[in-house]
């Protein structure tokens, strides 16, 4: 399970756990957005299927028709980012693999919103310090819109899950605990508190303690009561008689409550006891955990003992997952994606199927970075397009085919991915040059597709969701990365060019009409610098030629866009048409 919040991108819960340092298609022929039939033999190659095999082996002794519970959990203590998504995704994919094997599976997701607020994350008003120690579900939303602090982060995250094809049965611990759902288990833990103390003590590194072991054992209670007066958990249990518990708070308040069956309560088991209690209570068969929980003194290791000795259950099969981080702060798309790498920010610019693929293609134990910089997003689309082409090719690698299937479809249905994978570079350039005009983007893309293009309306439909991602991407680009075309021919720029370059530009202006296609214009703009060097049009590349080509392209950008870079030149020319291109290149002047 994993803790949200700035503090813990990767470990499951923050409360009660060590605050681990921040742990978190080229133009293709149109292909229908329906995934290929699932090749069962291929599935075994994906990591989630191996984990499903472990779960199957584990349940082999039990009743055949039992529903398999695969669990995940997040403490909604701050932005729930791409690292937390790995907790949910690992469980989701194992559940999917078990469903593919014919099992009845539920993905049970715990919102640990009855956890205490441990620290105020970046971006939240510092005055929220006063809520430290209170349950996340009892703190107001810092922005006043959602029902509570916890609700704010949960809402942002779960909106993204629907797009990603992840369906879960969600449980709020802020409802379960207070409703008395776990009272019998809490009493059991209280009765066996000395054994629990010994288990925890044995697995802890011997630190310095003010009090002797015997006294600490006597005073140990695995239950934390939230104070009825100040609302915080700075309380100590002072007495327990097998049913009623008395406590004293740091604020001076003293109180008591009954833990009898069905009685509402206002406290919870400490994390290391809470987790194994719920494995037993919910019959969890699979649950992943971040690296720190699987350490020798981690909560999973301790939980394995406690679930057996205290609650008469068995620890679930598990998988250790590693960090997911956002690549370097530099080169980020501007402001509105924010600094928190939450799934909804990634989904603004990435097709949902691509986000799924990021998690599918790597073993949970491999850490990875998501690069949402302008260049990083382009690169990711190029990688995905190459992957899909390979996965859909006849005789494709079985693992690729299986991973593709998992990316574009879940048991909830199809996951959005573009039926026509036009290069993201082209779509974003067209969005940039046309200020996001869909009709004009459609026209530019159609020109790139030549005879292959359907009617514009149909084309626009086939381009979604990539089209809206490209438009959002351009809106997020910093101003200096956007392209502004010149209104008219710029004489001073023309006069600043040397004779050879002017000659080259004139050749281009003269020949572009005959070359008016993506391929034709590409060949032409690369050939002209060869002519300028006295080489034949089919001369092979050389370092000298590369320098000349770069200088020539720079001159063309300056003439057309008052910049020394921009979208690919053929795209730029196709987007504005031959007449305007000729005019900006000097027309008659040249």
Q: Which residues bind Zn ion (CB under 5 A)?
A: 227, 229-230, 249, 251, 253
Least Å distance between CB 131 and Zn ion? Answer: 13
Pairwise CA distance, residues 316 & 314, whole Å? 6
CB of 237 to Zn ion, least distance (A): 14
Nearest-approach distance from CB 133 to Zn ion, in angstroms: 9
Q: Which is nearer to Zn ion, 59 or 230 (CB)?
A: 230
Measured from the CB atom, the residue of 211 and 250 that comes closer to Zn ion is 250
Closest distance between Zn ion and the C-beta of residue 186, in Å? 20
Taking the complex as a whole, how short is the minimal distance between the CB of residue 179 and Zn ion, in angstroms? 22
The sign of the dihedral angle between the CA atoms of 426, 427, 432, 438 is positive
Closest CA to 374 of 421, 422, 418, 432: 432
Which C-beta is closer to Zn ion: that of 236 or that of 336?
236
> Within 13 A of 536's CA, how many CA atoms are on the CB side?
3
Beta carbon nearer to Zn ion, 235 or 337: 235
Shortest distance, CB of residue 224 to Zn ion, whole angstroms? Answer: 12
Q: Which is nearer to Zn ion, 251 or 547 (CB)?
A: 251
Residue 552 neighbours by CB under 8 Å, 6+ apart: 501, 504, 525, 528, 529, 532
Provide φ and ψ at 572, rounded to 5°: -60, -45
Closest approach, Cβ 234 to Zn ion, in A, equals 6
Q: Shortest distance, CB of residue 290 to Zn ion, whole angstroms?
A: 32
Q: How far is CA 394 from CA 193, 234, 389, 404, 559, in A?
A: 62, 64, 10, 14, 46
Nearer to Zn ion, 85 or 139 (CB): 139
* Residue appearing with tokens 């630190």: 207
Taking each helix axis from N to C terminus, what angle separates 543-561 and 499-511, rounded to the nearest 10 degrees?
Answer: 70
Task: State the nearest-atom distance from the C-beta of 116 to Zn ion, in Å.
Answer: 13
Nearer to Zn ion, 230 or 562 (CB): 230
Q: Is 315:284 a contact under the CB 8 Å cutoff?
A: no
- The answer to whether the CB of 372 falls within 8 A of the CB of 337 is yes
DSSP code per residue over 288-325: -EEGGGGSTTSHHHHHHHHHHHTTS--PPB--EE--EE
Residue 516 structure tokens: 């008016």
Nearer residue to Zn ion within complex by CB, 49 or 233 = 233
- Measured in whole angstroms, the distance separating CA 525 from the mean position of its chain's CA atoms is 40
DSSP per position, 327-359: --STTBPPGGG-SS--HHHHHHHS-HHHHHHHH
| Radius of gyration of the chain measured on its C-alpha atoms | 30
Q: What is the DSSP string of 355-392?
A: HHHHHHSS-TTS-EEE--BHHHHHHHHHHHHHHHHHHH
Output the smallest distance, CB 247 to Zn ion, in A.
9
Nearest to 487 by CA among 419, 559, 566: 559
CB of 110 to Zn ion, least distance (A): 26
Residue 230 or residue 531: which is nearer to Zn ion going by CB?
230
Minimum CB distance to Zn ion smaller for 253 or for 502: 253
What is the full DSSP assignment across 160-205?
A: HHHHTT---EEEEHHHHTTTTTTHHHHHHHHHTHHHHHHHHHHTS-
Q: Please, which residue, 249 or 521, has the CB nearer to Zn ion?
A: 249
Q: What is the DSSP letter of 153?
A: H
């Amino acid at each position: 399970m994993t803790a949200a919040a700035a503090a813990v991108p990767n470990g499951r819960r923050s409360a009660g756990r060590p605050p681990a340092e921040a742990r978190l298609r080229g133009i293709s022929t149109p292909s229908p957005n329906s995934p290929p039939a699932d090749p069962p033999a291929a599935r075994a190659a994906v990591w989630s299927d191996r984990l499903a095999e472990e779960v199957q082996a584990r349940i082999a002794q039990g009743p055949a028709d039992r529903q398999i519970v695969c669990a995940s959990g997040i403490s909604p203590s701050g932005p729930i980012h791409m690292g937390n998504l790995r907790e949910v995704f690992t469980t989701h994919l194992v559940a999917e693999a078990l469903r593919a094997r014919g099992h009845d599976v539920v993905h049970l997701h715990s919102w640990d919103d009855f956890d205490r607020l441990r620290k105020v994350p970046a971006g939240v008003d510092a005055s929220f310090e006063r809520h430290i120690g209170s349950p996340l579900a009892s703190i107001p939303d810092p922005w006043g819109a959602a029902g509570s602090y916890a609700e704010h982060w949960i809402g942002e995250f779960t909106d993204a899950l629907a797009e990603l094809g992840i369906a879960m049965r969600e449980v709020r611990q802020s409802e379960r605990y207070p409703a008395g759902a776990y009272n019998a288990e809490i009493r059991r833990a209280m009765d066996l508190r000395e054994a629990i103390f010994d288990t925890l003590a044995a697995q802890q590194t011997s630190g310095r303690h003010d009090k002797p072991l015997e006294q600490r054992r006597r005073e140990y209670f695995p239950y934390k009561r939230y104070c009825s007066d100040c609302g915080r958990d700075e309380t100590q249990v002072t007495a327990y008689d097998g049913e009623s518990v008395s406590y004293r708070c740091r604020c001076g308040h003293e109180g008591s409550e009954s833990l009898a069956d069905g009685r509402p309560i206002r406290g919870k088991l400490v994390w290391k006891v809470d987790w194994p209690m719920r494995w037993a209570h919910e019959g969890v068969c699979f649950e992943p955990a971040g690296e720190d929980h699987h350490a020798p003194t981690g909560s999973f290791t301790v939980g394995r003992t406690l679930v057996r000795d205290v609650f008469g259950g068995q620890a679930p099969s598990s998988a250790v997952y590693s960090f997911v981080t956002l690549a370097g702060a530099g080169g980020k798309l501007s402001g509105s994606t924010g600094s928190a790498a939450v799934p909804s920010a990634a989904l603004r610019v990435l097709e949902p199927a691509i986000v799924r693929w990021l998690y599918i293609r790597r073993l949970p134990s491999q850490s990875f970075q998501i690069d949402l910089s302008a260049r990083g997003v382009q690169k990711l689309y190029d990688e995905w397009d190459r992957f899909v082409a390979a996965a859909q090719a006849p005789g494709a690698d079985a693992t690729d085919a299986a991973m593709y299937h998992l990316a574009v479809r879940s048991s909830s249905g199809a996951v959005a991915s573009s039926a026509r994978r036009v290069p993201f570079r082209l779509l974003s350039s067209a969005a940039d040059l046309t200020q996001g005009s869909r009709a004009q983007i459609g026209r530019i893309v159609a020109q790139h597709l030549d005879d292959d293009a359907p009617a514009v309306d149909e084309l626009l439909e086939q381009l979604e969701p990539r089209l809206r991602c490209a438009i959002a991407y351009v809106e997020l680009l910093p101003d200096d990365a956007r392209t502004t075309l010149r209104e008219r021919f710029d004489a001073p720029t023309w006069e600043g060019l040397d004779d050879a370059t002017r000659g080259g530009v004139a050749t281009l202006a003269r020949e572009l009409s005959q070359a008016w296609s993506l391929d034709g214009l590409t060949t032409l703009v690369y050939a002209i610098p060869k002519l300028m060097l006295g080489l034949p049009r089919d001369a092979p590349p050389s370092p000298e030629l590369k320098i000349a080509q770069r200088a020539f392209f720079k001159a063309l950008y300056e003439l057309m866009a008052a910049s020394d870079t921009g979208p690919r030149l053929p795209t730029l020319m196709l987007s504005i048409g031959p007449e305007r291109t000729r005019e900006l290149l000097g027309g008659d002047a040249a």
